[in-house]
Amino acid sequence: MQIIKNPDRNSWSELIKRPTQSVDSIEETVVQIFDDVRRNGDVAVQKYTALFDGINSKVMAITESEMSDASKAVPQELKEAIQMAKQNIETFHTAQKTDKIEVETMPGVNCWQEKRPIEKIGLYIPGGTAPLFSTVLMLAVPAQIAGCKEIILCTPPNKNGAIANEILYTAQLCGVTKIYKVGGIQAIAALTFGTETISQVYKVFGPGNQFVTVAKQLATKYGVAIDMPAGPSELLVVADDSANAAYVASDLLSQAEHGADSQVILVSNSELFLTNVETEISKQMALLPRKSMAQKAIDNSKLILISDAQEALDFINAYGPEHFIVCSQNEALFLEGISNAGSVFVGNYTPESAGDYASGTNHTLPTNGYSKAYSGVNLDSFSKSMTFQKITKEGLQNIGKTIELMAEAEGLQAHKNAVTIRLNDL
């Protein structure tokens, strides 16, 4: 990894670039597949599953017997770990429930807001090189708490045409019953338009590769909402000599092993610490089963020396990391000053993988700088805020003249008349 020393602000725009393809280079493929799925439904979905996943099968839905067999195959110790993670995620997301908000804005004018669940949601669970059953927990648990009526899960099949036992067990644990062996662009297209087998949904959740990210963005053009543009994983760590170099290296590698297009960055005020972390990365990576993939991500990553703490904070906010770890004696500055991050991890004993699995926070987070405008998935992601109002006779007399004047000034006479006709009766 290259050590970049005190980079000039003018160079930051280059440093914060992600190692991803441009949308333009992907969008044409996504548009073509969307059009095919919209016109040809299941036939198109099966065609692309054969093309991209090498699986020729007309059966996409998971059966009850497959669910049962998967549950039996998962070791009891892992089941208990999944159950503990589920409990923590439930605890954190249940705490996010809010009560009905009601206020009388002026005498006789009553306004209130209530939450309503999104009725039909689609969960995309990445498979590929690492079937992320933890993502099932992160999406299905808050969906259940919110009260979503229909939860559809799509995930790509493995080379044997099956779904990982852990994904099926976790889905079953969370009450998900509609599961389909479909991944990639074709899964997002199926959830967007609906097919003979897969129902159309109102909102799609879940991370994925660059193709899935662009597919989700295209889905919004057809009236389907998405959680956020969540692409390849990324992590930024700010650390000084008070941090443990081995710990920091392990955190950087934990995200690097997600995929070749992941990115990890270390910012420090100590050149010696950067060098020590670099040494630790080499030592630890040699022992990783996914070291070739981690190496590709490390090649896209950076060690950055920034001597001034405020300058470091400004750089981090410009980058807007998905995951942000703070291991610094100047902890308060970074915690109070961070504006753009998906999720923040504080101190030497808070590994990023805790948030990935079991602490309770959600791991579906904005990447590629989208943390500047997007939140990570939370309970509110699965519901809508609806407003209500009821105006009494007294209330209309109090507010009516204001409405009439404003409507007339905008040239909307019918708006004014809707009030005037009532006031005349009063």
Is 258 labelled a binding residue?
yes
Does residue 404 lie in a domain region? Answer: yes
Cα–Cα nearest to 170, from 257, 281, 79: 79
Does residue 248 lie in a domain region? Answer: yes
**pLDDT (average), residues 171-199:** 96
- Percent of the chain topping pLDDT 90: 88
Q: Do 66 and 106 belong to one domain?
A: yes
Residue 163, phi then psi, degrees to nearest 5: -105, 140
pLDDT band at 209 (very low <50, low <70, confident <90, very high): confident
Look at residue 21 in the predicted model and tell me its pLDDT. Answer: 62
Mean pLDDT of the chain: 95
Q: Please identify, among 303, 338, 360, the residue that sits at the C-terminal boundary of a domain.
A: 360
Q: Do 43 and 165 belong to one domain?
A: yes
Look at residue 26 in the predicted model and tell me its pLDDT. Answer: 87
Is 180 labelled a binding residue?
no
Q: Do 204 and 293 belong to one domain?
A: no
Look at residue 35 in the predicted model and tell me its pLDDT. Answer: 98
Q: Do 41 and 183 belong to one domain?
A: yes
Look at residue 283 in the predicted model and tell me its pLDDT. Answer: 96
Query: Which residues have a Cβ under 8 Å from the Cβ of 236 and sit 6 or more positions away?
Result: 264, 265, 266, 267, 316, 319, 321, 323, 324, 325
Is 363 labelled a binding residue?
no
With a cut of 70, say whether residue 129 has pLDDT above it. Answer: no
Beta strands 302-305 and 263-268 are parallel
Is 102 labelled a binding residue?
no
pTM of the model: 0.93
Q: Do 259 and 133 belong to one domain?
A: no
398-425 pLDDT tens trace: 999 999 999 999 999 999 999 999 999 9
Does residue 163 lie in a domain region? Answer: yes
Helix (H, G, I), strand (E, B), or coil: what is residue 101? strand
Look at residue 421 in the predicted model and tell me its pLDDT. Answer: 98
pLDDT band at 297 (very low <50, low <70, confident <90, very high): confident
User: Which CATH number covers residue 63?
Assistant: 3.40.50.1980
Q: Please identify, among 345, 360, 375, the residue that sits at the C-terminal boundary of a domain.
A: 360
Q: Do 101 and 202 belong to one domain?
A: yes
Look at residue 258 in the predicted model and tell me its pLDDT. Answer: 86
Look at residue 156 in the predicted model and tell me its pLDDT. Answer: 95
Number of domains in the chain: 3
Q: Please identify, among 181, 209, 229, the residue that sits at the C-terminal boundary of a domain.
A: 229
Look at residue 243 in the predicted model and tell me its pLDDT. Answer: 98
13-47 pLDDT tens trace: 999 998 876 677 789 999 999 999 999 999 999 99
Does residue 381 lie in a domain region? Answer: no
With a cut of 90, say whether residue 66 has pLDDT above it. Answer: yes
More confident residue, 177 or 288: 288
314-334 pLDDT tens trace: 999 999 999 999 999 999 999
Is 356 labelled a binding residue?
yes
What the block records as the tokens of 14 is 């280059």
Residue with tokens 């490390």: 298
As beta bridge partners, residue 123 has 153, 205
- Catalytic annotation, residues: 322-323
pLDDT band at 341 (very low <50, low <70, confident <90, very high): very high
**pLDDT (average), residues 146-169:** 95
Is 186 labelled a binding residue?
yes
Q: Do 282 and 182 belong to one domain?
A: no
Does residue 365 lie in a domain region? Answer: no
Q: Do 138 and 254 belong to one domain?
A: no
Look at residue 396 in the predicted model and tell me its pLDDT. Answer: 98
Whether the Cβ atoms of residue 15 and residue 4 lie closer than 8 Å to each other: yes
As beta bridge partners, residue 304 has 4, 267
Look at residue 208 in the predicted model and tell me its pLDDT. Answer: 84
- Percent of the chain topping pLDDT 70: 99
Q: Do 268 and 218 belong to one domain?
A: no
More confident residue, 22 or 426: 426
As beta bridge partners, residue 121 has 151, 203
Sign of the C-alpha dihedral computed for residues 184, 187, 191 and 194 taken in this order: positive
Q: Do 248 and 218 belong to one domain?
A: no
User: Which CATH number covers residue 416?
Assistant: 1.20.5.1300
Cα–Cα nearest to 156, from 179, 135, 139: 179
Does residue 377 lie in a domain region? Answer: no
Look at residue 22 in the predicted model and tell me its pLDDT. Answer: 63
Does residue 114 lie in a domain region? Answer: yes
More confident residue, 170 or 213: 170
239-273 pLDDT tens trace: 999 999 999 999 999 999 988 888 999 999 999 99
Q: Do 333 and 410 belong to one domain?
A: no
**pLDDT (average), residues 350-355:** 97
With a cut of 70, say whether residue 128 has pLDDT above it. Answer: no
Does residue 368 lie in a domain region? Answer: no
Domain that holds residue 421: 392-425
With a cut of 80, say whether residue 130 has pLDDT above it. Answer: no
Q: Do 323 and 346 belong to one domain?
A: yes
Is 389 labelled a binding residue?
no
